[in-house]
């Protein structure tokens, strides 16, 4: 049970301390969540082979397209719940929690159908190499059977984090990750089920995390986020509020995924070795992404609760401190990963060509991490206060649009993997500059205050 004192700490405690205390469980939770896919990659790569490894890796962009869109919608639920919880509007929190879970069940069912019907066609459109197409299709179709439990977990996690509880989602993920690893070893190494075994293990682990999340919400009697049995109630006004904030985030996530699909298609053109190397790089690269995204989630909840409580100066101070901490940790990660590239790749594959290609990828992209952090932190703070329109436009055009243009216009002229990789630092740098200008000069705080509280107050945002 969470106490009022814990909630008040987010509103009144030391800002660096509260951000770190909130960040760490999210970071560890994201780490264990990544173990779902990393366990698949390690075990499949070592017990089945390079083609199976590439088959699992080739599915990532399509999964992210569909799942990421709903996760964006979950973030909308998290924002509205955090603002209501910070404002101590208990009735609103109750309506928002029940509506959010109803949306999770409906969304999961819809994506299960879409994924099953379109998996093979989308993989063919992405130019997936023929030798891995069947394995990738099998993996995807089994994976999509777990959409409802996955969405219940994701929505439940956003609910708990919105009220300041980032610890229990961590505990649930630890258990689910251990289930996944044990079943991966059993199904892939023991039963020799190949990529199908890896997918089945992942789905079962998702069911475990969903059951634990629902048990937590149903068992939290007396708290504002208590769920009255598994009987979600839909409030159309709440659904509109969630969609107002969540749909732009969902669209942004979907367009990110579209650009990643274009990148995956570009990588596919260089053959199975490049696909396998890119797949492994994504597992290593995730150390940075889970760190910066965890800070983004932390500042979103921090800003949401403090904005709901009308503590606007604290929102700005938290954003500035979060940006500084993220920059310091990003530099540290880059200094660790760059010299360790070869060692890390050998953990996933013994293929010399895959290792060589992967080292090149890491040595080019790791130093560019620092150019991304403003996108995550500033957009997180803006989203927490309810400003999603302009941040979404900056991301859609500055990151996704420019990246797709680069891949379609420049890469065919200079057809090398390096030019595909270059789409990342170019788009990150441009979008970060746009976010800084908007955060400093965009007048967003005044508009959010007027929309939420009907206030017209001076709020010049400064880093």
CA distance 439 to 452: 19
Does residue 305 or residue 67 have the better pLDDT?
Answer: 305
Kindly report whether the global pTM for this prediction surpasses the value 0.75: yes
- Tokens standing for residue 29: 């939770």
Does residue 225 or residue 294 have the better pLDDT?
Answer: 294
Give the pLDDT band (50/70/90) at residue 75: confident
**Which one, of 60, 64, 69, 206, lies nearest residue 139 by Cα?**
60
Tell me what the mean pLDDT of segment 279-284 comes to. 86
> Rounded mean pLDDT of the chain?
86
Task: Give pLDDT tens digits for 9-48.
Answer: 788 889 999 999 989 998 987 777 766 666 667 788 888 8
pLDDT at residue 280 greater than cutoff 90: no
- Tokens standing for residue 230: 């598994």
Q: Please answer whether residues 187 and 195 qualify as being in contact, where contact means their C-beta atoms are separated by less than 8 angstroms.
A: no
Handedness of CA 63, 69, 75, 81 (dihedral sign): negative
Give the pLDDT band (50/70/90) at residue 461: very low
Tell me what the mean pLDDT of segment 176-180 comes to. 88
What percent of the chain has a predicted confidence (pLDDT) above 70?
Answer: 92
CA dihedral 158, 313, 441, 23 (to 10 degrees): -30
pLDDT of 29 reads 79
Least confident of 49-53, 354-358, 376-380: 49-53
pLDDT of 315 reads 93
pLDDT of 39 reads 67
Chain centroid to CA 142: how far?
A: 21
Task: Give pLDDT tens digits for 144-170.
Answer: 999 999 999 999 999 998 888 888 988
Least confident of 228-237, 252-261, 383-392, 453-462: 453-462
Least confident of 218-222, 232-236, 287-291: 218-222
Task: Give pLDDT tens digits for 312-340.
Answer: 999 999 999 999 999 999 999 999 999 99
What percent of the chain has a predicted confidence (pLDDT) above 90?
Answer: 40
pLDDT of 428 reads 94
CA distance 360 to 338: 10
pLDDT at residue 462 greater than cutoff 50: no
CA distance 426 to 437: 17
pLDDT of 36 reads 64
Does residue 181 or residue 39 have the better pLDDT?
Answer: 181
pLDDT of 7 reads 46
pLDDT at residue 457 greater than cutoff 50: no
CA distance 198 to 203: 9
pLDDT at residue 374 greater than cutoff 90: yes
CA distance 21 to 374: 21
- Tokens standing for residue 290: 């889970």
Q: Is 310 helix (H, G, I), strand (E, B) or coil?
A: coil
């Amino acid at each position: 049970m969470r106490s009022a004192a814990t909630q008040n700490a987010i509103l009144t405690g030391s800002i660096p301390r509260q951000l770190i205390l909130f960040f760490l469980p999210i970071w560890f939770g994201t780490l264990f969540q990544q173990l779902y896919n990393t366990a698949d990659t390690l075990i499949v790569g070592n017990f089945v082979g390079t083609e199976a490894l590439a088959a699992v890796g080739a599915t990532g962009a399509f999964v992210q397209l569909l799942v990421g869109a709903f996760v964006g919608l979950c973030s909308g639920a998290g924002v509205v719940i955090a603002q209501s919880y910070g404002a101590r509007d208990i009735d609103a929190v109750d309506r928002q929690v029940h509506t959010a879970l109803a949306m999770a069940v409906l969304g999961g069912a819809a994506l299960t159908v879409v994924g099953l019907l379109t998996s093979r066609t989308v993989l063919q459109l992405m130019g997936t190499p023929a030798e891995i197409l069947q394995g990738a299709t099998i993996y995807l179709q089994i994976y999509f059977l777990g959409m409802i439990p996955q969405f219940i977990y994701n929505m439940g996690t956003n609910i708990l984090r919105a009220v300041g509880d980032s610890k229990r989602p961590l505990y649930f993920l630890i258990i689910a990750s251990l289930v996944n690893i044990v079943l991966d070893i059993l199904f892939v190494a023991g039963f020799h089920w190949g990529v199908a075994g890896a997918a089945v293990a992942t789905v079962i682990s998702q069911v475990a995390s969903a059951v634990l999340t629902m048990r937590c919400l149903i068992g939290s009697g007396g708290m504002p986020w208590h769920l009255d049995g598994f009987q979600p109630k839909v409030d159309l006004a709440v659904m509109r509020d969630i969609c107002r904030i969540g749909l732009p985030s969902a669209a942004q996530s979907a367009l990110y995924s579209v650009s990643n699909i274009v990148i995956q298609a570009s990588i596919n053109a260089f053959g199975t070795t490049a696909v396998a190397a890119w797949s492994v790089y994504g597992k290593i690269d995730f150390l940075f992404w889970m760190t910066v995204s965890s800070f983004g989630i932390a500042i979103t909840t921090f800003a949401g609760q403090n904005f709901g409580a009308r503590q606007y100066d604290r929102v700005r101070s938290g954003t500035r401190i979060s940006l500084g901490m993220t920059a310091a940790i990003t530099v540290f990660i880059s200094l660790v990963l760059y010299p360790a590239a070869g060692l890390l790749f050998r953990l996933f594959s013994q293929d010399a060509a895959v290792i060589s290609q992967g080292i090149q990828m890491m040595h080019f992209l790791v130093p560019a991490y620092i150019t991304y952090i403003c996108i995550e932190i500033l957009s997180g703070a803006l989203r927490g206060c309810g400003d999603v329109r302009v941040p979404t436009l900056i991301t859609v055009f500055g990151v996704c649009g420019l990246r797709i243009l680069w891949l379609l216009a420049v890469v065919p002229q200079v057809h090398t993997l390096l030019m595909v990789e270059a789409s990342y630092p170019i788009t990150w740098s441009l979008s970060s500059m746009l976010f800084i200008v908007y955060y400093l000069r965009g007048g967003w705080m005044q508009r959010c205050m007027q929309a939420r509280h009907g206030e017209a107050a001076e709020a010049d945002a400064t880093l």
